[in-house]
Amino acid sequence: MQIVSAFILILLFAPISIMLAFMPYLTRETVSFGVSVSEEHYRSDLLRGMRKTFASISCIIYGILFIIGLIGLLNTTGELGQGITLGVCIIGMILVSTILNLIFYFKMKQLKPSLPPGPTNKTFIAVDTNFRRQKLAVSNKWFLIHFAITVICAIFVFANYDRIPDTIAMKFDFQGNVVRTAAKSMWTVLFPSIMQLIMILMFLLINRSISSSKQQVHAANPEQSVRQNIIFRRRWSMFTLISSFAMIILFTLIQFNMMYPQSIEIIMFVSVLIPIFIVLFALVLSITTGQGGSRIGRSKVGSPIQPVNDDAYWKLGVVYFNPQDPAIWVEKRSGIGWTVNFANPKGWLMLIGIIVIIVAVSFYKG
């Protein structure tokens, strides 16, 4: 059954590794390793070579990590050993990604002053005053479907409380064996409903941040840039809606399994299938859309116009800290999606709230 663990590792590790290794190709073409540059510079042989080097080194290291993890899983039995192996792989991947990005960030920062100057030293800011009037994300009303499913399931479980056995399986290992049980209680049987409500609130927050995040328009081609950005937001908003729905279905299955036990194969299949579906969905969306929609209708020639130089507000190219910017959510520089303006107290409050919820849930699960 170690084959199952290895299969899961392949399906989760491979797409995440690909995304991390080729992330410099997916960012806006006005950013290179967290440093602002013109499109013309981004497409130069010099920066193209840096991206190729980054991707090559990443693929080699992630490949070694993957082989080590695969060998470890195939030679390890028991939940603890497999958990440690997967944990080492994940931590290794995070460390490698962080170190590589920092190395190339400092290299790019050092290189920028030596890049050929553009036709003008001026930088341009483009703003579309009609941007907010357009539909940027799916309506939050769609999440009422998720909420309705959650409420119906909770009511159904409550009505059939007596059918639930006194001891409930709470956790399975990769071989499908029950490794943790809990005594039946109202909190235990309604725990999936609580998780569903938490996820709905978090995905609502994400959807809200997608539509309200800071507008970013490229001065070289403002109209195309706006179109790209709108498509980018709509696609990721749809991803948020569909992914959250898939997670609601997963917890619904877990909850119904308490009353009507299913075969362990079905539980394992769905439990693995949904996370893999979400990861692959994110990978496909990242490759086809790019950060800010940069890969949609990409122009053949890069503009020499210099974007706004706000590098000073991006600490190490990834952490945005701008006290003069009222925005809470802004597009990431390294990676796909959005991040918080850490100079805005509201951003901190949101992050602290999310961390408190995660810690509380982890504590309850024991």
Q: Which of 170-174, 266-270, 312-316 has the lowest mean pLDDT?
A: 170-174
Beta carbons of 274 and 247 less than 8 angstroms apart: yes
List, as one string, the DSSP characters of 221-286. SHHHHHHHHHHHHHHHHHHHHHHHHHHHHHHHHHHHHHHSPPPHHHHHHHHHHHHHHHHHHHHHHH
Mean pLDDT of the chain: 85
Q: Rounded CA gap, 252 and 153, in Å?
A: 7
Is residue 81 pLDDT above 90, yes or no? no
Q: Which two tokens stand for residue 34?
A: 């967290």
pLDDT tens digits, 17-65:
888 999 999 998 889 999 999 888 999 999 999 999 999 999 999 999 8
pLDDT tens digits, 220-231:
777 888 889 999
Rounded mean pLDDT of 92-107? 94
Q: Which two tokens stand for residue 279?
A: 């990861």
| Residues 67/68/72/75 CA torsion (nearest 10 deg) | 60
| Residue 297 backbone class (left: φ over 0; alpha: ψ -120 to 50; beta: rest) | left
Beta carbons of 299 and 222 less than 8 angstroms apart: no
pLDDT tens digits, 288-306:
999 988 888 877 777 887 7
Is residue 1 pLDDT above 60, yes or no? no
Q: b/e per residue, 329-340, with b = 16+ CB within 10 A? A: bbbbbbbbbbbb
- Predicted TM-score of the model (pTM): 0.85
Which residues, in sequence order, are bridge partners of residue 168? 182
DSSP state of 61: H
The single residue listed with the structure tokens 């990676």 is 335
Q: b/e per residue, 103-140, with b = 16+ CB within 10 A? A: ebbeebbebbeebeebeeeeeeebebeeeeeeebbbee
For CA atoms 330, 319, 35, 237, the dihedral sign is negative
Q: Which of 39-48, 158-167, 203-212, 311-320 has the lowest mean pLDDT?
A: 158-167
> What angle do helix axes 264-289 and 2-21 make, rounded to 10 degrees?
10
Q: Which two tokens stand for residue 64?
A: 């070694």
The alpha-carbon radius of gyration of the chain (Å, integer) is 23
Q: Rounded CA gap, 323 and 313, in Å?
A: 9
pLDDT tens digits, 230-253:
999 999 999 999 999 999 999 998
Q: Rounded CA gap, 54 and 36, in Å?
A: 18
